[in-house]
Amino acid sequence: MPMMNAQAARLSPDPAPGPDAGREAAALAMLRASPGTRVRHTDATLLDHLQGVHDKLKLWGCREDLCLAGLFHSVYGTEHFRRQTIPIAARPRVAGVIGAAAEEMAFQFCTLDTRAFLADIESFVAGGGTRGALDAERADLLHIFVANWLEQFPRMRASQRSSHIGFLRRAAALLDPAAAAELEAVFGFDRPLTPHRSTSALEALDRGVGTLQILDDFVPAHLRHQLSALMARNIWRYGWKAADTQTRHFFWHSHFAGDSDDQGTSDCEHELHNRPLIAPVLALWHLIRDQLAPGHVPVRVYANGHTYGGDGHVHSDADQPGHFTSLYYAHPEWEANWGGETLFYNADRSDVVKAAYPRPGRLVHFSGNIFHAARSPSRDCPALRSVIVIKTYCPPGA
């Protein structure tokens, strides 16, 4: 098959039902008759997953052989899913149902060395390779890989969702338009954001009025997934407190950069560089710096984790002008009955004047001399309230 026709060969010339509808029905009947398809797979059944991959490929307009290969993409087991739903010895029987070409493609995916395949695609892209120049076999396998990934994505743990983000971003240019569009819808690699912002003027400690900004849709989806994945890693130490008045019921903490002085003025950004684990935090800081706090320098960067009973006491981060705090809610999900709001107080701490609900992906930016406190999650909450904190200083005249 000529390379220039690889995309055309993947796409179905006629989306209307035809003779292939019988193959699809026979293929599904074969899978439903196999007890192995009823096992759990990413909080669904294997059959649900297999059919979901098939349906994505079909929705993208892929030809029937490729869709049926997706339907059987892991039935012989893969390097990550070791169970053989259908024994390899039954390959001729499978080929008799879905066709030899579809069965061969499914077998190739089952026996794929994923790391080598991804590295090969990365090398192709880095060398200037384009969608039209990618050979049909690798293009088909890539579409099955992406459909397989996206089908599981809504059920993945936060720590898994970001594991292939870099690859998917670079490989998107090799996908057929419908597949690339779905990838973009999930991760928002190139989607311009229009942040929703509310700004309030709040009474601040000995300094008159401070500002509080609450921003949604400020952080792109792919960075949100990376930050949530970081919070799911083993980065935490227990015993942190928000104020000296706190003598028990501490919470979790992870230090990234800077010292313990909230009112410091030394730029600590260099501590965030060349550390792949916290690269998403550096990206978050650059987003804040470029769009929200030009001229600021980071002086402390860390994360706090709260569980039920681990409230933070009321405090202000600074009593000098020029200091600001950004809170980013990094947990991947939150429900109204889970509590965990950040409360803001007047200068004598006699009343709550504002509350920020910890909506995932929300950023709160405020003057450091405003009193505030983190409320712990409720007893109903099964999650860690994860907040990335970036404290900044704006030098005079900046």
Q: Mean pLDDT highest for which of 9-23, 76-90, 322-336? A: 322-336
Quote the pLDDT of residue 122.
96
364 in the same domain as 293? yes
122 in the same domain as 181? yes
CATH number for the domain harbouring residue 19: 1.10.3210
* Inter-axis angle of helices 177-187 and 136-152, nearest 10: 30
Quote the pLDDT of residue 44.
84
Tell which of 187, 209, 242 closes a domain: 187
Residue 36 has φ and ψ, to the nearest 5°, of: -65, -20
215 in the same domain as 181? no
- Say whether pLDDT at 396 is over 90: no
Domain annotation covers residue 118? yes
Quote the pLDDT of residue 338.
98
257 in the same domain as 148? no
User: What are 123's two structure tokens?
Assistant: 């090398």
Alpha helices, H only, the chain = 6-10, 20-32, 46-59, 64-71, 91-98, 100-110, 114-126, 136-152, 158-161, 165-171, 177-187, 221-231, 279-291
Quote the pLDDT of residue 4.
42
Over residues 206-234, the pLDDT tens digits come to 667 889 999 999 999 999 999 999 999 99
Tell which of 159, 187, 215 closes a domain: 187
Quote the pLDDT of residue 278.
96
Q: Looking at per-residue confidence, does 73 or 1 come out higher?
A: 73
Q: Where in the sequence is the domain holding 353, given as residue range(s)? A: 196-393
216 in the same domain as 167? no
302 in the same domain as 216? yes
Domain annotation covers residue 398? no
Quote the pLDDT of residue 239.
87
* Cβ count near 370 (within 10 Å): 27
Query: How far lies 208's CA from each of 21, 345, 353, 369, in Å?
Result: 72, 13, 15, 10
Tell which of 168, 187, 206 closes a domain: 187
| DSSP states of 18-41 | -THHHHHHHHHHHHHT-GGGGSEE
Query: How far lies 35's CA from each of 39, 84, 97, 143, in Å?
Result: 8, 11, 18, 27
204 in the same domain as 171? no
Quote the pLDDT of residue 16.
40
224 in the same domain as 126? no
Domain annotation covers residue 46? yes
Q: What is the mean pLDDT of the chain?
A: 90
Integer Cα distance of 367 and 161 in angstroms: 33
CATH number for the domain harbouring residue 324: 2.60.120.620
Query: What's the full length of the chain, in residues?
Result: 398
Buried b (16+ CB within 10 A) or exposed e, 201-222: ebbbbebeebebbbbeebbbbb
277 in the same domain as 165? no
34 in the same domain as 172? yes
Quote the pLDDT of residue 158.
87
Quote the pLDDT of residue 7.
58
Q: Looking at per-residue confidence, does 192 or 365 come out higher?
A: 365
Residue 235 has φ and ψ, to the nearest 5°, of: -115, 0
Domain annotation covers residue 16? yes
Over residues 139-168, the pLDDT tens digits come to 999 999 999 999 999 999 888 889 899 999
315 in the same domain as 232? yes
* Inter-axis angle of helices 20-32 and 46-59, nearest 10: 160
Least confident of 38-47, 95-104, 285-294, 337-346: 38-47
Query: What is the number of structural domains in the chain?
Result: 2
Domain annotation covers residue 145? yes
Over residues 235-285, the pLDDT tens digits come to 999 988 777 776 677 899 999 999 877 678 899 999 999 999 999 999 999
Domain annotation covers residue 367? yes
**Which phi-psi region, left, alpha or beta, contains residue 312 (left: φ > 0; alpha: ψ -120 to 50)?**
beta
203 in the same domain as 105? no
- Say whether pLDDT at 18 is over 60: no
Domain annotation covers residue 81? yes
* Structure-token match 């104020």, residue found: 243
Provide the whole-model pTM.
0.84
